[in-house]
Structure 1
Amino acid sequence: MSKTRHPILADTSALIAIAMSDYWTTAKATLKLTTTNICRTELQRHVRENHEYAHDGTREHQIHHGSKRVLEAFDDSDAAFSTVTVVPAPSGEDAGERSIEAEIEQYGSAYQVVCINDAAARNRLQKRQQQTGVSYRVVPPTYLLYVLFDTGELTKGEFCRGCAAMMEGENWTTKGAVHEMWRAIPVDCSGFVDEDLLP
């Protein structure tokens, strides 16, 4: 485990989503990411419990291969990815999200961006941020693509289509989920994305 805390703290779902995007190679070379030991354990469990040869496009395929890609990146000394240990370690189905919240509670000022999939967890983190005044942004997984766009790594079209592909690939296609995925993103993608995937 590392003591390095990079500017972006990301949960399991966000990491899998960016790893399965068309821009994973760019993300790996560009983004500076941190996750928790609990999220890393979830990724390892996903690799073990989801079949490697699941049909392409299935959720099982996404979870297995996305988790595997993320773990390989965290083990790659060239990638600016780190894992921090959260103590005490939360357990249960939402342990990864709660580990992100625990990390922010202790080290919130170390981060600029907190990327987490669960809307309720994002709302709790935003409320905490408002109460403490610590200046980090709480964002959905699509924001990782926005960082690549904002730093000039992606064109507007690539960014917009990448967000749409991420939402479809992760099955975040209900009206509420689509709205959440665009909530922190100040870009109008109406010329690039079907209307049903716009807020």
Structure 2
Amino acid sequence: MVDDAVRHPVIVDTDALIAVANTGLWSRIMDNLQLTTTNVCYHELQRHVRELSEYSPEETRERWVHDGSKRALEPFDDEDTSFTTVPCVPRPHGEDAGEKSVQTEIEQHTKLYRFAISMDKHGRRAINRVFADTEETTGKAVAPTFLLYLLLDEGKCTVAEFCQACGEMLRGEGWTGYQAIEAAWAAIPVDCSQYLQSDLLP
């Protein structure tokens, strides 16, 4: 990992990276999108790989987080991809340090970001307040499904692939409650009713 301080317009937190890395479209995201995360989120991913067993049973949360973290780290360690990490100062600590670090980064460099990707409702609200207070930007905090939409918007996947990957993510993460579903689709102008069961749609 290099703290090269190249800031792409899309910044992603730890949980969002894990969620998207566990979908079938992750390799296309690595090939086609430019993403930034913080060194705090990067270290959280490393900790998950170190502390969670790769031998835990399939379908368990531990295995999901381990595998997603491992996949998510790959492009940040590969100099040929457009994935960068930026240092967060001051460095937050605690359970939601990654989310806080993304908010801190946006507070310090608001104009450089177009999208902040996070599933944390309170984190998105706080980031959207920061964006709203800065007149020079139209930035927005959105749910992790939006990263898949960016891929669709670039013409790098079909609507069917997009919808199926969203369903894969929502089920895998357990984001199936009413509020999570509403958040997942809030910024996405795509009708997936042809491809997904109604319990995964708003």
Q: Same fold (TM over 0.5)?
A: yes
1:132 paired with 2:127, answer no
- 1:184 aligned residue: 187
Alpha-carbon distance in 1 for matches of 2:132, 2:90: 25
1:9-158 to 2 correspondences below 5 Å: 9-133=11-135, 134-158=137-161
Q: What per-residue deviation string (whole Å, max 9, x for no partner) do you get for residues 137-175 of structure 1?
A: 211001010001011011111111111111001110111
The alignment's TM-score, normalised by the length of structure 1, stands at 0.97
- The CA distance in 2 between the partners of 1:26 and 1:150, in whole Å, is 13
Residues 27-80 of structure 1, C-alpha deviations (whole Å, 9 max, x = no match): 110110000011011111111111011112211111111111111210011211
Amino acid paired to 2:45: L
Name the Cα RMSD after superposition. Answer: 0.9
> Equivalent residue of 2:194, what SS?
coil
Residue matched to 2:178: 175
Amino acid in the other structure paired with 1:184: A
**Alignment partners' CA distance in 2, 1:26 and 1:177:** 25
Amino acid at match of 2:147: L
SS state at 1:35 partner: strand
In percent, how many aligned pairs have the same letter?
Answer: 48
1:183 corresponds to which letter in structure 2? A
SS for the counterpart of 1:132 is coil
8 A Cα contact 2:106 2:130, kept in partner: no
Amino acid at match of 1:177: A
| Distance in structure 2 (CA, Å) of the matches to 1:62 and 1:73 | 18
Aligned equivalents of 1:156 and 1:68: distance in 2? 27
Please say which of residues 96-105 and 45-54 is displaced more in the overlay. 45-54
**Runs ≥4 in structure 1, deviation > 4 angstroms?**
none
Matching residue's letter, 1:55: P
Aligned residues: 199
TM-aligned CA deviation for residue 93 of structure 1: 0.8
